[in-house]
Amino acid sequence: MSVFNQPRKRVIQAIILGMVVLIITRLFFLQIVEKKYAKLADANAVLRKVVYPSRGIIYDRQNRAILSNDVLYDLVVTPASAKNIDTAYLCKILNIDKEEFRKRIINAIVRNGRVRQSVFAALLPAEVFGQLQESMYLFQPGFELVPRQIRSYPYAAAANILGYIGEISPERLKDTTYSSYNSGDYLGLAGLERTYEAVLMGTRGIQYLVKDNLNRPQGAYENGEFDSAAIAGKNLRLSLDIELQQFGEKLMKGKMGSIVAIDPQTGGILAMVSAPTFDPNLLTGSYRSTNSVLLNRDTTKPTFNRAIQATYPPGSTFKPMIALVGLDEGVITPSFGYPCGGAYYGCSRPIKCEHHDAGHAANLRLALSHSCNSYFSHVYRLCVDASKFGGIRAGGLQKWSDYMNSFGFGHRIGVDVPSEARGIVPTPAFYDKMYKGSWNSCTSVFLGIGQGELTLTPLQMANAMCIVANRGSYYIPHFVKSIDNDDTHLLDKYKEKHVVAHISDTAYSAVIHGMTDVVESGTGRVAQIEGITIGGKTGTAENYGIVDGKRTKLKNHAAFVAFAPAENARIAVAVIVENSGFGARYAAPIASLMMEKYLKDSISTKRQALMKTVMETVTLDPAMVAKSKLDSLNNSAIIKKNGTK
Amino acid sequence: MNRSQAKLTQGIDWPIVGLYLALVIIGIMSIFAAEYRGDDNVWQNIIHLNKNYSRQMMWFGISLVLASVIWLTDSKFFTATSNLLYAGGLLLLLLVLGIGKDVKGSHSWLVIGGFQFQPAELTKLCTNLALAKYLSSQETDFTKLRSRLIAAAIALIPAGIIILQDETGLALVYFSFFLVMFREGLPGILLVIAFSGIVLVLSALLVDKYVLFTIFSVITALVIYFMRREIKRKRSRLLVIIGVYAFCSVFVMFVVPFAFTKVLKDYQVRRIEVMLGKENDPKATYNTRQSMIAIGSGGFWGKGYLKGTQTRFDFVPEQSTDFIFCTVGEDFGFLGSVIFLGLYVALLFRIIFVAERQRSTYSRVYAYGVASIIFFHLAINISMTIGLAPVIGIPLPLVSYGGSSLMTFTMLIFIMLRLDADRQMVLR
Q: Within the 386-415 window of chain B, which residues sit less than 8 Å (CB to CB) from chain A?
A: 386-388
Interface check for A434 against chain B (CB to CB < 8 A): the answer is no
CB-hemisphere CA count at 13 Å for B60?
Answer: 23
* Contact flag B296-A13 (C-beta cutoff 8 Å): no
b/e burial code for range A11-29 (CB count within 10 A of at least 16 → b): ebbebbeebbeebbebbee
Instruction: Say how far apart CA B315 and CA B293 lie, in whole Å.
Output: 10
Instruction: Say how far apart CA B149 and CA A605 lie, in whole Å.
Output: 85
CB-hemisphere CA count at 13 Å for A537?
Answer: 33
Cα–Cα distances in angstroms (integers) from residue A412 to residues A95, A257, A418, A420, in the given order: 49, 19, 10, 6
Can you give the pLDDT at residue A211?
61
Instruction: Say how far apart CA B406 and CA A171 lie, in whole Å.
Output: 28
Can you give the pLDDT at residue B23?
96
Q: Which of these ranges, A147-151, A248-252, B327-331, has the smallest mean pLDDT? A: A147-151
Q: Which of these ranges, A335-344, A559-568, A585-594, B267-276, has the smallest mean pLDDT? A: B267-276
Rounded to the nearest 10 degrees, the angle between the axes of helix B145-164 and helix B75-99 is: 40
* Contact flag A41-B344 (C-beta cutoff 8 Å): no
Enumerate long-range contacts of B170-176, CB under 8 Å, 24 or more apart.
B170/B108, B170/B118, B170/B120, B170/B121, B170/B393, B170/B394, B171/B120, B172/B376, B172/B380, B172/B392, B172/B394, B173/B124, B173/B373, B173/B376, B173/B377, B173/B394, B174/B124, B174/B127, B175/B376, B176/B372, B176/B373, B176/B375, B176/B376
- Is it true that the peptide bond before A7 is cis, omega within 30 degrees of 0? no
Can you give the pLDDT at residue B378?
95
pLDDT digits (tens, 9 = 90+) for A608-640: 999 999 999 888 888 888 888 888 888 877 666
Gap from A489 CA to chain B (nearest CA, Å): 13
Interface check for B379 against chain A (CB to CB < 8 A): the answer is yes
Given a cut of 80, is residue A31 above it in pLDDT? yes
Could you tell me if A114 and A121 are in contact, meaning their C-beta atoms sit under 8 angstroms apart?
Answer: no
Q: Which residues of chain A lie closer than 8 angstroms to B330, CB-CB?
A: 41
Per-residue pLDDT, averaged over A100-110, amounts to 84
Q: What's A22's DSSP letter?
A: H
Could you tell me if B347 and B374 are in contact, meaning their C-beta atoms sit under 8 angstroms apart?
Answer: yes
Inside any domain, residue B295: yes
Interface check for B339 against chain A (CB to CB < 8 A): the answer is no
Q: Which of these ranges, A117-131, A224-238, A539-553, has the smallest mean pLDDT? A: A539-553
Three-state DSSP at A524 gives coil
More confident residue, A56 or B209: A56
Task: Identify the domain boundary among B264, B293, B308.
Answer: B264
Q: Within the 89-108 window of chain B, which residues sit less than 8 Å (CB to CB) from chain A?
A: 103-104
Gap from A103 CA to chain B (nearest CA, Å): 17
pLDDT digits (tens, 9 = 90+) for A247-261: 999 999 989 999 999
Could you tell me if A352 and A343 are in contact, meaning their C-beta atoms sit under 8 angstroms apart?
Answer: yes
Q: What angle do CA A539, A540, A542 make, to 5 degrees?
A: 140
Q: Which of B152, B150, B163 shows the shortest CA–CA distance to B194?
A: B152
Given a cut of 80, is residue B39 above it in pLDDT? no
Count of domains in chain B?
A: 2
- H-run or E-run covering A545: strand A535-547
Give the pLDDT band (50/70/90) at residue A2: very low
Are residues B160 and B228 located together in one domain of the fold? no
CA closest to B381 among chain A residues: A23
* Contact flag B386-A24 (C-beta cutoff 8 Å): no
CA closest to B387 among chain A residues: A26
Q: Tell me the backbone φ, ψ of residue A498, rounded to 5 degrees.
A: -105, 125
Gap from A412 CA to chain B (nearest CA, Å): 24
Can you give the pLDDT at residue B275?
58
Are residues B326 and B181 located together in one domain of the fold? yes
Domain boundaries, chain A: 46-238, 242-482+496-627
Q: Tell me the backbone φ, ψ of residue A128, rounded to 5 degrees.
A: -65, -40
Q: Is the dihedral of CA B193, B199, B205, B208 positive or negative?
A: negative
Are residues B210 and B104 located together in one domain of the fold? no
Best mutation target among A30, A177, A222 (most B Cβ atoms within 10 Å) is A30
Helices (H), A439-501: 458-469
Interface check for A533 against chain B (CB to CB < 8 A): the answer is no
More confident residue, A233 or B116: A233
Can you give the pLDDT at residue A86?
80
Inside any domain, residue B91: yes
Gap from A203 CA to chain B (nearest CA, Å): 7
Q: Which fold has domain A242-482+496-627?
A: Beta-lactamase (3.40.710)
Could you tell me if B380 and B321 are in contact, meaning their C-beta atoms sit under 8 angstroms apart?
Answer: no
* Contact flag B38-A114 (C-beta cutoff 8 Å): yes
Gap from B107 CA to chain A (nearest CA, Å): 13
Per-residue pLDDT, averaged over B218-233, amounts to 85
Beta strands in B19-100 (DSSP E): none
pLDDT digits (tens, 9 = 90+) for A269-312: 999 999 899 999 888 877 788 888 889 888 888 999 999 999 99
Instruction: Say how far apart CA B302 and CA B280 lie, in whole Å.
Output: 30
CA A532 to mean position of chain CA atoms: 31
Inside any domain, residue B72: yes
Q: Which residues of chain A lie closer than 8 angstroms to B37, CB-CB?
A: 113-116
* Contact flag B375-A16 (C-beta cutoff 8 Å): yes
Gap from A23 CA to chain B (nearest CA, Å): 7
Could you tell me if B150 and B346 are in contact, meaning their C-beta atoms sit under 8 angstroms apart?
Answer: no
Q: Which of A222, A227, A251, A315 shows the shortest CA–CA distance to A49?
A: A227
Per-residue pLDDT, averaged over B68-84, amounts to 93
Interface check for A63 against chain B (CB to CB < 8 A): the answer is no
Q: What's B237's DSSP letter?
A: H
Task: Identify the domain boundary among B264, B296, B325.
Answer: B264
Are residues B140 and B165 located together in one domain of the fold? yes
Q: What's this model's pTM, rounded to 2 decimal places?
A: 0.66
Instruction: Say how far apart CA A25 and CA B337 lie, in whole Å.
Output: 12
Are residues B11 and B87 located together in one domain of the fold? yes
Per-residue pLDDT, averaged over A442-456, amounts to 87
Q: Within the 200-229 window of chain A, which residues sit less than 8 Å (CB to CB) from chain B?
A: 203, 205-206, 226, 228-229
| pLDDT winner (highest mean) among A80-89, B183-192, B405-414 | B405-414
Cα separation of the two ends of chain A: 89
Inside any domain, residue B121: yes
Given a cut of 50, is residue A644 above it in pLDDT? no
More confident residue, A4 or A286: A286
Are residues B121 and B254 located together in one domain of the fold? no
Give the pLDDT band (50/70/90) at residue A241: very high
Per-residue pLDDT, averaged over B61-72, amounts to 95
Instruction: Say how far apart CA A340 and CA A370 lie, in whole Å.
Output: 11
More confident residue, B110 or A606: A606
Can you give the pLDDT at residue A3?
44
More confident residue, A3 or B11: B11
* Contact flag A30-B38 (C-beta cutoff 8 Å): no
Pairing of strands A205-211, A186-188: unpaired
Q: Which amino acid is at A471?
A: R
Are residues B225 and B159 located together in one domain of the fold? no
Helices (H), B305-396: 325-356, 361-385
Longest dimension (CA), chain A: 109
Interface check for B181 against chain A (CB to CB < 8 A): the answer is no
Gap from B242 CA to chain A (nearest CA, Å): 31
Q: Which fold has domain A46-238?
A: Penicillin-binding protein 2a (Domain 2) (3.90.1310)
Given a cut of 70, is residue B312 above it in pLDDT? no
Can you give the pLDDT at residue B1?
42
Three-state DSSP at A419 gives coil
Given a cut of 90, is residue B129 above it in pLDDT? yes
Could you tell me if A522 and A539 are in contact, meaning their C-beta atoms sit under 8 angstroms apart?
Answer: no
Are residues B155 and B42 located together in one domain of the fold? yes
Interface check for A21 against chain B (CB to CB < 8 A): the answer is no
* Contact flag A34-B296 (C-beta cutoff 8 Å): yes
- H-run or E-run covering A634: helix A630-644
Interface check for A231 against chain B (CB to CB < 8 A): the answer is yes
Per-residue pLDDT, averaged over B9-18, amounts to 91
Are residues B151 and B215 located together in one domain of the fold? no
Per-residue pLDDT, averaged over B228-240, amounts to 84
Best mutation target among A4, A8, A11, A12 (most B Cβ atoms within 10 Å) is A12
Given a cut of 60, is residue A506 above it in pLDDT? yes
- Output the average pLDDT for chain A: 85
Give the pLDDT band (50/70/90) at residue A584: confident
Gap from B224 CA to chain A (nearest CA, Å): 32
Are residues B147 and B251 located together in one domain of the fold? no
* Contact flag B39-A16 (C-beta cutoff 8 Å): no
The full DSSP string for B379-408 is: HHHHHHHTTSS-----PPTTTSS-HHHHHH
Can you give the pLDDT at residue B36?
77
Inside any domain, residue B278: no
Can you give the pLDDT at residue B276?
61
Q: Which of these ranges, A89-93, A544-548, B289-293, has the smallest mean pLDDT? A: A544-548
Q: Which residues of chain B lie closer than 8 angstroms to A22, CB-CB?
A: 388
Are residues B115 and B225 located together in one domain of the fold? no
When CB atoms are compared, the residue of B103, B282, B300 closest to A176 is B103
Q: What is the predicted ipTM?
A: 0.86
The full DSSP string for A95-128 is: T--HHHHHHHHHHHHHHH-SSS-EEEE-S--HHH
Can you give the pLDDT at residue B5?
55
Per-residue pLDDT, averaged over A79-95, amounts to 81
Instruction: Say how far apart CA A162 and CA B103 lie, in whole Å.
Output: 29
Interface check for B283 against chain A (CB to CB < 8 A): the answer is yes
**Residue B220 sits in which domain range?**
195-264
Q: Which of A240, A267, A249 shows the shortest CA–CA distance to A58?
A: A240
Q: Write the burial class of residue B80 (CB in 10 Å: 0-12 exposed, 13-18 middle, 19+ buried).
A: middle
Radius of gyration of chain B, Cα coordinates, nearest whole angstrom: 24
- Is it true that the peptide bond before B158 is cis, omega within 30 degrees of 0? no
Three-state DSSP at B206 gives helix
Can you give the pLDDT at residue B3?
47
Are residues B260 and B290 located together in one domain of the fold? no
Given a cut of 60, is residue A215 above it in pLDDT? no
CB-hemisphere CA count at 13 Å for A194?
Answer: 15
Per-residue pLDDT, averaged over A169-179, amounts to 74
Q: What angle do CA B339, B342, B345 make, to 5 degrees?
A: 165
When CB atoms are compared, the residue of B184, B285, B387 closest to A228 is B285
Inside any domain, residue B270: no
* Contact flag A9-B289 (C-beta cutoff 8 Å): no
* Contact flag B364-A19 (C-beta cutoff 8 Å): no
Could you tell me if B328 and B30 are in contact, meaning their C-beta atoms sit under 8 angstroms apart?
Answer: yes
- H-run or E-run covering B111: strand B106-112
Q: Which of these ranges, A53-57, A469-473, B2-6, B322-326, has the smallest mean pLDDT? A: B2-6
CA closest to A204 among chain B residues: B283
Measured from the Cβ of residue B380, the count of other Cβ atoms closer than 10 Å reads 21
Given a cut of 50, is residue A1 above it in pLDDT? no
Number of DSSP helices (H) and strands (E) in chain A, helices first: 23, 20
Rounded to the nearest 10 degrees, the angle between the axes of helix B266-275 and helix B282-296 is: 40
CA B218 to mean position of chain CA atoms: 38
Longest dimension (CA), chain B: 81
Cα–Cα distances in angstroms (integers) from residue A568 to residues A21, A246, A538, A564, in the given order: 74, 26, 21, 7
More confident residue, B390 or A316: A316
Three-state DSSP at A299 gives coil
